[in-house]
Structure 1
Amino acid sequence: MTHTDWSDVRGRLARLAAHPGGDKVFGAHAHRWTLEPPLRAAEMAELEGQLRVELPEEYRSFLLAAGRGGAGPTYGLFPLRRADGRWAWEGDGADLTDRDTLHQPFPHTEPFNPADGLPEPPDEEDYDTVEAFNEAEDAYWERHDRLVYAPDHSIGLLYLCHLGCAMREALVVSGPARGQMWADDTADGSGFRPLRDADGTPLGFARWYRRWLDEAEAEADAAVA
């Protein structure tokens, strides 16, 4: 089921901003419980024209009814801004979104790790000199980074937030998992995985956002209990 009613969100954020425990919620210092203004219909049309794809409905409706970025999971939703006639998301890792390939399908439906199949890093004990080991190690990590951080892995992914330590979460815009939220954990060697609810159901944007909002309210209450 697609959820597109966001009429309660700004009121809940306002209550969190006024809550005595609101500033204790993780990430609140970054977004301050504030959403940027929603997109107008003409702006959405321009954005999707530039991207050559219609955004998944839950996120699309959020942009039109709630806001174009700001208060959200961890440090907040990357804001969508227009500069020099081009729309783009801004934030730590927002540049991982390749706007020119968002319309191309993200092919995965199950977790995958681009590092799978790589050999173990060189062991210094296998080399006669420090120089030979350093050369082998440099070559290994160059190969590793070229494979693991290849832009092809994130085709069809719209990065929406960061969790710190280069861990990020993204919305699948195109492909068989369209509308699902995925984690990009390549920074800790874990690869990519779909985010799931407690019952194992893949999280769409609305459940992902509302689950954070529920948890934020509980965290604020606990901070002053």
Structure 2
Amino acid sequence: MREQVLALRGAPFPEKVFGVRRQGSGHEFLLEPTLSEAEVADAERELGCALPSVYRTFLLEVGAGGAGPHYGIFPLRRDAQGWHWAEGKGIRSDNALLGEVFPTAAERARWEEELNAREPAEQDFPDDQSYRAAFRAWDDEWEKLQDSMTAGAVCLSHKGCGYFVWLVVTGPERGTLWTDLRAANGTLEPLSAGPHRVDFRSWYLDWLSRAAGQAHSA
């Protein structure tokens, strides 16, 4: 698979593939070096989760990130911060939450409803200053809630326009992929093929097949 991806750099029309060329963030059909078994095991220990087997194999045999669907796969790297996914200016996975179970749609909806119900009302405060302080505190809770929405999942790819793809690593949905549409006031939606959830392997191979066809077609 690695050789197939890298070979597309020499295809007649690589620019026809979305995400290949974009100033500052196009993946150019490049892949990061692969990780060793010891490195992946060390990352799992530090991150507090076992990575899904298909994605784990990708890290070991294809690359730690780089070319892939949309603007590519965020690479898993180790630096002075430890192991983390290098996600540029996009959403960053909260590594502290990776060991928690990925919430259900019902849980996410309930959390939002409960927090909405606690929104401060200006008439309940003696002055504007105290109301604004309460509102800021409530708004900060929204930031924490957004992180909780993707507990147990890794942000893998930027689709553009603030939309992202997440890979669940903990809980019953482990190994499945989800599209994050919250930038447009949407929600998290599972990637599906008919009645079945899409895993990393089928997602990546589907992209590779389409990319090869586009890059070789006039």
Does residue 25 (structure 1) correspond to residue 21 (structure 2)? The answer is no
Residue matched to 2:122: none
RMSD of aligned residue pairs (Cα, Å): 2.8
Give the distance between the partners of 1:111 and 1:12, measured in 2 at CA.
41
Does residue 187 (structure 1) correspond to residue 179 (structure 2)? The answer is no
Residue matched to 1:220: 215
- Residue 180 of structure 1 deviates from its aligned partner by 0.1
Residue matched to 2:8: 16
Residue matched to 2:154: 158
Structure 2 counterpart of 1:167, which letter? Y
Structure 1 range deviating more: 83-92 or 201-210: 83-92
Structure 2 counterpart of 1:192, which letter? L
Q: What are structure 1's unaligned runs of at least 5 residues?
A: 1-8, 120-131
SS of the residue 1:28 aligns to: coil
SS of the residue 1:169 aligns to: strand
- Residue 144 of structure 1 deviates from its aligned partner by 9.8
User: Which of 191, 195, 198 matches 1:200?
Assistant: 195
Instruction: Rate the CA distance shift 1:208–1:86 in 2: closer, same or farther, 3 A.
Output: same
- Pairing of 1:103-118 with structure 2 (within 5 A): 103-108=99-104
Residue matched to 2:71: 75
- Residue 96 of structure 1 deviates from its aligned partner by 2.7
Equivalent pair of 2:85/2:92 in contact (CA under 8 Å): no
SS of the residue 2:210 aligns to: helix
- Residue 22 of structure 1 deviates from its aligned partner by 1.1
Give the distance between the partners of 1:94 and 1:50, measured in 2 at CA.
22
> TM-score, with normalisation over the residues of structure 1?
0.77
Q: Deviations over 1:168-207 (max 9, x none)?
A: 001000011000001111001111111112x232100101
Does residue 54 (structure 1) correspond to residue 50 (structure 2)? The answer is yes
Residue matched to 1:87: 83
SS of the residue 1:73 aligns to: coil
Give the distance between the partners of 2:106 and 2:53, measured in 1 at CA.
22
Instruction: Rate the CA distance shift 1:31–1:53 in 2: closer, same or farther, 3 A.
Output: same
Q: What are structure 2's unaligned runs of at least 5 residues?
A: 118-127
Aligned residue pairs, count: 197
Instruction: Rate the CA distance shift 1:72–1:145 in 2: closer, same or farther, 3 A.
Output: farther
Equivalent pair of 2:175/2:199 in contact (CA under 8 Å): yes
Equivalent pair of 2:103/2:150 in contact (CA under 8 Å): no
Give the distance between the partners of 2:34 and 2:164, measured in 1 at CA.
23
Q: Identity rate of aligned residues, in percent? A: 34
Does residue 38 (structure 1) correspond to residue 34 (structure 2)? The answer is yes
